Structure 1
């Protein structure tokens, strides 16, 4: 209990959060400053006609072995394409891309393994990495290149680079996406990069083994990722950044150190709107993202419609957030998640950080054998984590079998993303709505409980929950209820999170893969019982308060049955609070607060009766806010107050503790015939 052992400590932490003392936030990824798209593009459609280029390898025996099991018609079509490709095609995708002169060109890639060897040659002097030494990413060490640099040096970071070409369609001609594989062998940041490539369409292929992203689409208005696989990358399977009119469909991502799909910094088209929006910037449907650190992540993933997907067997299923700096479109807003399966996200990959596997060179880590190196800290067993999102809808999803919690919602002050304006410290985690999600049950009706259905730190304006069919409880136990008109009902207006919840998020955010730092007192990473920071805090608070109350009873209130009873009731309440802190969602938290409030009333009345009126009045105030906290936590969240009763109580305790300590240690000496304060009155003559 050395970190925080009193209410004074937690109050100091709350103050520290407000002035910007926080664990250093690592960027989700570093990228150049991007331009704002004008939104005049459109989602491209799959084409079967148009100017066409062919890409294939020259080994006939290898090619025939790859197509041997194809259906007869598809096999015959590929054989015909191979013959044509030998006569007038290309051996590398990059060569075909460089040969494109007409917008809307189709590039057909025949089954094979494409290592793109010409892209691996040493860079020329004007593209040497040393030239960009002053622009290195602090976290990752790679050079942050402007568009002109990428265009001039396309293979400094990319195996295949599609720069500024419009309407390019790249499709594999195999029976399965894994028949056409582009492999960066961990020698490049990105396996395939599409940059300012409006209308780009990827179909029926696999990209893998990059130091960062399998397929990276940036600053592009109009794209599709269709029936494609992104696997075994240090960070992302599919990453799109500063994009609009995008579609992910029937994709698969696995074995990635961040997420399988990442629609980050999507076009912020709805930032000035309320609950109703005319369109979404990106649609993600029918995708399967599994065995990653995260199934889905989206820092500043604005206006994304995510539906009918499966996010299963990751560490955490989904994260959409405002928790990292230097991403356009902050804070994240207006995404809709519906009809998804978010299940069994309990895979713990942190052992590979602990044992040093993730310190090895990329090619030695064993990604193909199931190793994943979590580049961000997320809870093992999390269904959805939503730190700092606004106006998000979570509707009709199946969320089950997540051992930690189904949904986690929390505050992100602006300084975490390097925004120091006063108003920006309170501009996240508002207007999120949770409608009719099936919690702890499979689509077939089989029970598969989450560890906890909903965890919320209590911060935000008009967040609400409707018909959650909760089976495993929530934290807090009482959640604001949505109205029937798809708007928040009588909701809360809380600008600062619950002290215990804020402390927990502060602690858990301190993960760093580069420093092999895993917070030992955060249950996201396996801490349990007294190891957990919130349990340490509850126990420390209980010990400090009980010791001071004992001192007051012995030194100031001896013989007061009311104060002695108050001490006993408070001790029981604080004990229940410690037990409740170990069991998220337990009603013991509210019961414990009610007993603490009742016990403090007894002590307060005893103090006032013995003449210590000022300290007694402060004690009575603490009792009042403890009782309000019990109602707020266990019965109904009190509307229209800017901070929780718990925060007021903690701040009052921060004053009460030193005051009570002085009252215990300093007792006035009695004058002749006058009893000392805290001693019983003399018997009458």
Structure 2
């Protein structure tokens, strides 16, 4: 087990070199809070601009009652209100207050300036992304170093727009700040009916908060996240929208880890996300340590990936990720490929010059475009009754992440993901109107993990054989328990993990970034192996047909080196099978076809079995090794195409791959010519000695 964990660590080491989001050390809430309720009474504080003509134009199209309400509030605001949201926040002096923002564009000019004096010299670590990791006290000392609007330590505060929709009230950071609105240690905060936009990190950031609501809020055009809620509990996203973000439109990271150590039967979820739309982002939903999440009745579409949850990034409390429940969501057409903006240099420009408002997205993450949902090292997640269609890649993508990636060095933890994830009752490849909109494949799984199961009606899966869910959660199904992914898939994941947005590095050989056909690492591995094995197959075939003239009693006697006529026929038949299998293996890797790969294995198994039987009489040890290799190839094909073999900790592909290496070296020795011990020794004697 230790050697397996060490091998995984060595292969995946580059994946841990980048950080999606760095934050100060945080404490998860104790869970004593609650989800705040919307207050409908008169606001305590009003925020508005003073241009009456502009305000009249903004409310002209409102329904009559809402227009009159806004005009009344505007007259009151001109007299008693303030002009900037931060100004209103600073006036909050007790829990339970409400700030109403009237229609307008809020650039928060007093907060825009770069830090000066002591704020420009804060003693804090710099992140790899170029910003300082400030403590809460430093945020209080210098609230606008990173934030356009800083809501720090306020309790039960409600901030709402009074327009007809979110776009009537816009808080615009103009790419001058990391965050448009930061709510830090603000238990009970409620955001409603407004837009936050254009930051170098997040539009709306909620941190270390027990109790929050994000209601009818729009976020867009950010380097990283639209919504980022971190280390929080009792949260609700409802009727929100996010687009144009370089990482996740919605990112509920490190939610309260209240279900750790439980099975699928849980008492509650920390954060609920419902009726939101997230589109035209790198990721519709991103959940590093997205624990205890209930995500339902949302739409994730036109992103590179619809949703991800993972255990990839260190320093996130609550790892490994666990207990997200996705149900009744529409996840479709997530086929955007924004890497072209990295290739052409667009993303190397300053954020304000990239063209986010015109549809540019600078992806900060390396992911396979054309995917519905990715679980990268998560446990006890449930995907139930979702509609997933129209993806060029896969509807569901699952692979394990060793614990050293998250900073956990214990050897017995390295294979603790991805376990007990359930995929049941999802409608795959069919749009709501009944049209067939198939996914490229319904499942891509690296084979690692314990207790994972899928629904029976899944098309084009890799592997073709999947453990099936017997009963709905909390009952667990059977299935395999594997410490490591399939060798070729593990190699691919290692290669693809070398993406870097900062260095504009797109790993060659990874189809996530455009490689295809012979350019893919899977095809190159298959081609290299096939060339070596194919050469050996031809040499065995040639040797089986050679004659050695032996002088005896006045005539030349033909002697077959590899045994009987029957043995020669076995070698010839096996070689035909083997060469066909080796060619098919390369084709299967190039077109990414699991069934073809399985057939290729069966053909190669036929070659090794025939060759082994043919050479057993003269090369007993090598013959039995060759037969064993054929049996392993059959087992590998069975494991991929028919049913996962239980009990074994590694897939047959690992044993076959290791044995192939030994066999190739031995085959070279067998095929090498042998010299006679003396010039006078007969050829027959030399052959017997060989």
TM-score by length of 2: 0.93
- Please list the CA deviations of residues 548-581 of structure 1 after superposition, one character each: whole Å capped at 9, or x if unmatched: 2333444576563222322221121222222222
Larger mean CA deviation between 174-183 and 589-598 belongs to: 589-598
Structure 2 unaligned runs (5+)?
A: 545-560
Once the two structures are superposed, the pairs formed by residues 365-376 of structure 1 within 5 Å of their partners are 365-376=354-365
* 1:136 matched to 2:126: yes
CA 1:407–1:204: 2 relative to 1, 3 Å:
same
Match for residue 470 of structure 2 among 469, 483, 486: 483
Distance 2:67 2:671 in 1: 89
- Please list the CA deviations of residues 100-153 of structure 1 after superposition, one character each: whole Å capped at 9, or x if unmatched: 01101100000000011111234241211x434x50002x11101111111111
The CA deviation at 1:16 is 4.5
Aligned to 2:81: 89
The CA deviation at 1:465 is 0.6
Distance 2:303 2:106 in 1: 28
Distance 1:517 1:603 in 2: 46
Once the two structures are superposed, the pairs formed by residues 144-543 of structure 1 within 5 Å of their partners are 144-467=133-456, 469-470=457-458, 472-486=459-473, 487-543=475-531
The CA deviation at 1:51 is 6.1
Aligned to 2:598: 590
CA contact (8 A) 2:305 2:369 kept: yes
The CA deviation at 1:155 is 0.5
**Runs of 4 or more off by more than 4 Å in structure 1?**
12-16, 555-559, 676-681
CA contact (8 A) 1:222 1:246 kept: yes
SS in 1 for 2:530: helix
Aligned to 2:614: 606
CA contact (8 A) 2:48 2:84 kept: yes
- Please list the CA deviations of residues 372-393 of structure 1 after superposition, one character each: whole Å capped at 9, or x if unmatched: 0000011111111111111100
Aligned to 1:64: 56
SS in 1 for 2:222: coil
Larger mean CA deviation between 652-661 and 334-343 belongs to: 652-661
Aligned to 1:675: 684
Structure 1 unaligned runs (5+)?
A: 1-11
Distance 2:74 2:98 in 1: 16
SS in 1 for 2:624: helix
* 1:110 matched to 2:120: no
SS in 2 for 1:587: helix
The CA deviation at 1:640 is 2.1
CA contact (8 A) 1:411 1:459 kept: yes
SS in 1 for 2:684: coil
CA contact (8 A) 1:171 1:204 kept: yes
CA 1:541–1:108: 2 relative to 1, 3 Å:
same
Larger radius of gyration: 2
CA 1:676–1:312: 2 relative to 1, 3 Å:
farther
The CA deviation at 1:680 is 12
- Please list the CA deviations of residues 282-304 of structure 1 after superposition, one character each: whole Å capped at 9, or x if unmatched: 10000000000010011110110
- Please list the CA deviations of residues 518-543 of structure 1 after superposition, one character each: whole Å capped at 9, or x if unmatched: 12211112211111111111111111
* 1:544 matched to 2:532: yes
Distance 1:214 1:492 in 2: 43
Match for residue 629 of structure 2 among 599, 612, 622: 622
The CA deviation at 1:485 is 4.4
Q: Give RMSD over aligned pairs.
A: 2.0
CA contact (8 A) 2:255 2:289 kept: yes
- Please list the CA deviations of residues 183-216 of structure 1 after superposition, one character each: whole Å capped at 9, or x if unmatched: 0000000000000101111000000001000000
CA 1:55–1:409: 2 relative to 1, 3 Å:
same
The CA deviation at 1:512 is 0.9
CA contact (8 A) 1:558 1:679 kept: no
- Please list the CA deviations of residues 310-365 of structure 1 after superposition, one character each: whole Å capped at 9, or x if unmatched: 00001111111111221111110110001111100111111100011000011000
Distance 1:678 1:374 in 2: 65
CA 1:485–1:376: 2 relative to 1, 3 Å:
closer
Distance 1:137 1:49 in 2: 43
Distance 2:468 2:573 in 1: 38
Distance 2:263 2:6 in 1: 31
Match for residue 73 of structure 1 among 49, 61, 65: 65
SS in 1 for 2:295: strand
